[in-house]
Structure formats: structure tokens, C-alpha cells
Amino acid sequence: MREPIRDLGRLEHILEQIDNAEEFVAGKSLVDLQGDKVLQYALIKSIEIIGEASYMLSLEFKEQHTDVAWNQIIKMRHVLVHGYYHISLPVVWSIVHDDLPQLRPYIVQYIEELRKGQS
């Protein structure tokens, strides 16, 4: 069930996975990713969790925070889970290097807003 009270926890999960993905690729290249199955699984799992947590955010929250392309994040999770045989490692690399750093400040801002609202 999607409950507004759980939005903070979902956002914290998203931030944790962004941090994990950034840590996993530190000092790595796309060539490293292509040759490292453990790194592939780690990044794919982080992106899946980001998608699932985004899906579980309340509809009200997503409607109030339209700066983030929630539907694209959720669709990517579906591709990774259901279309696993079509996963493109260059796309995974691009998500981690291009998209997640852009998503991070929004997630941090939303977490701060929700924490202030609980005070």
C-alpha cells in the first residue's frame, strides 16, 4: 500500500541506492562493468530498487513533485526485471553516471522537506 507516511523511507532507500551505485563505480570504467558480473548485478539491483521505491511512493507525493520523471524511473525498473535478457550495459552505465547524479539533489531536497514536516 502506498502511504504518504512511508514516503520518507522510500526516498531514503532511493538515496541509499544512488550512493551505493556511485560507490560501486568509483574508479571503474564501462569496460570494467562489461567484464565484471558482480558489478553488473550490483548496479542493476540498485537501479531496480530505485524504481521499486519510486513506484511505492504515494501518488500524492509524485503529483506534488513533478521535477522528477517518476514514470521513466519506474519503467526502467520494469525493463530490468522483466526484460532482463535485453539489458544494455552502456545504458546501465549511462544511468549511473548521468541520471543518478541529477536525481540525487531532488531526493535530498525531498527528504529534507519531509523531515522538516515531521518536526
By annotation, the residues acting in catalysis are 77
CB 69 within 8 A of CB 12: no
Q: Which long-range contacts (CB under 8 A, 24 or more apart) does 24-32 make?
A: 24/96, 25/93, 25/96, 25/97, 30/89, 30/90, 30/93
CB 57 within 8 A of CB 11: yes
